[in-house]
Amino acid sequence: MSKELIRLADCTMAFDDEVVLDKINLYINDKEFLTLLGPSGCGKTTTLRIIGGFQTPTSGDVYFDGVRINAVPPHKRAINTVFQKYALFPHLNVYENIAFGLRIPKIDEKGKKIKLSEQEIDQRVMEMLQVVNLKGFEKRRVTSLSGGQQQRVAIARALVNRPKVLLLDEPLGALDLKLRKDMQNELKRIQQAMGITFIYVTHDQEEALAMSDTVVVMDSGRIQQIGTPEDIYNEPKNAFVADFIGESNIIDGIMREDGVVEIFNRRFQCLDKGFAKDEPVDVVIRPEDVDIVPEDQGQLKGTVTNVTFKGMQYDIIVDFYGFKWLIQTTDLSPVGSHIGIKIDPDGFHVMKKSEYSGMFGDYSSYSEEYEEISDVDYEPEEEGKEGGNEE
């Protein structure tokens, strides 16, 4: 990726002594698609507002192209924003909604008014209609458009000013799942076609993984991890990230030596190294990295307590010595069956203990409501045993 465009250095934001962003350090490269991802209230919008200039950090610095811009107002930054409530002008058609910003005279550095000609406005609006795939819609009232089409008008309206950076705050939040997926591809395409830096906010991890060059995972006003989608998924830094990104079984373990981790008093080969001898650790095992084998061939043995059909696979909850794991499998193992599992060395991911240790990664609650039913379900097995006596 190319050169650095924006940098937040030790940015803290406090409201009435309540710290909502705690010394954020982050840089964003030119033409990068960077996503701020985290649960509600973690500080995503606040971070975006600081970058856009709608909020000044309580302490710390914001740089654009190497220049400190803390005091530069939003309209003087080469940054545009698509807010979640993007509020198109209902009385204007698609064309005029997109042209709106272009008709406002700009003041150049010498204080001179610059007005675009109608011809230039037309050329720019038509170009944007092409980019967002809305050619032929220019005369349509925005109120007659679908949610996804309105969203694309909002994006065209923000891009028509040719900002270097586009900030998008949960722009797809109001759309249904199918449309969301279409728009994710569309946004990625637009970003690449126009070569613009996108800073995107979402609390949807799938969306973040699908679209981004870089994902910034936040919690409680702090950055937990910055990395590519693959880094964040495969090498989560702590139990919070492992839990927030995808499904994770997170188990208490001990790193016996490089390449050897112990869980449930058994030693397993893994690829992780660099921990102290006998260091207590958190071990992540993804549900798709567990192979089900006959009970007597398993490295661990457990009992299936819950099965959910998910289309592509079954999500099964398996009780290992009182600890419940989520396993994803294409083979059905019915409730009550005793299974063995195998995990390859690269199926383990070992993490340092953190403030999040013990808070995530146990699927007991997942099947709690099922417990009563599964007790009932154990009975047929006993019947089955009796059945085994027949003939």
Ligand X SMILES: Nc1ncnc2c1ncn2[C@@H]1O[C@H](COP(=O)(O)OP(=O)(O)OP(=O)(O)O)[C@@H](O)[C@H]1O
The footprint of Mg ion (CB under 5 A) covers 45
Residues of this chain, 310-369, that bind ligand X according to CB under 6 A: none
Q: Is position 237 an interface residue for ligand X (rule: CB under 6 A)?
A: no
Q: Is position 20 an interface residue for ligand X (rule: CB under 6 A)?
A: yes
Q: Is position 57 an interface residue for ligand X (rule: CB under 6 A)?
A: no
Q: Looking at beta carbons only, is 17 or 372 nearer to ligand X? A: 17
Phi, psi angles (nearest 5°) of residue 16: 45, 55
Residues of this chain, 76-135, that bind ligand X according to CB under 6 A: none
Q: Looking at beta carbons only, is 166 or 326 nearer to Mg ion? A: 166
Q: What are 345's two structure tokens? A: 């060395």
Measured in whole angstroms, how far is the alpha carbon of residue 133 from the centre of its chain? 26
Q: Is position 387 an interface residue for ligand X (rule: CB under 6 A)?
A: no
Work out which of 24, 26, 33, 46 binds ligand X, going by CB under 6 A.
46
Q: Looking at beta carbons only, is 39 or 105 nearer to ligand X? A: 39
**Host H or E run for residue 50:** helix 44-52
The SS3 assignment for 122 reads: helix
Work out how close the CB of 320 gets to ligand X at its nearest, in angstroms, rounded to a whole number: 35
Q: What are 219's two structure tokens? A: 């919690």
What CA dihedral angle connects 341, 346, 348 and 354, to 10 degrees?
A: -170
Residues of this chain, 185-204, that bind ligand X according to CB under 6 A: 203
Work out how close the CB of 35 gets to ligand X at its nearest, in angstroms, rounded to a whole number: 12
Q: Looking at beta carbons only, is 43 or 52 nearer to ligand X? A: 43
Q: Which residue is nearest to Mg ion (CB)?
A: 45
**C-alpha to C-alpha distance for 384 and 11, rounded to whole angstroms:** 64
Work out how close the CB of 20 gets to ligand X at its nearest, in angstroms, rounded to a whole number: 3
Sole residue written with tokens 């550095």: 109
Work out how close the CB of 25 gets to ligand X at its nearest, in angstroms, rounded to a whole number: 17
**C-alpha to C-alpha distance for 31 and 8, rounded to whole angstroms:** 17
Work out how close the CB of 11 gets to ligand X at its nearest, in angstroms, rounded to a whole number: 12
Which residues on adjacent β-strands are paired with residue 306? 317
Q: For every residue of 258-327, which 3-state class applies, written as one string?
A: CCEEEECCEEEECCCCCCCCCEEEEEEECHHHEEEECHHHCCEEEEEEEEEECCCCEEEEEEECCEEEEE
Work out how close the CB of 49 gets to ligand X at its nearest, in angstroms, rounded to a whole number: 8
Residues in contact with ligand X, counted by CB under 6 A, come to a total of: 11
Task: Give the binding site for ligand X (CB under 6 A).
Answer: 15, 20, 38, 40-46, 203
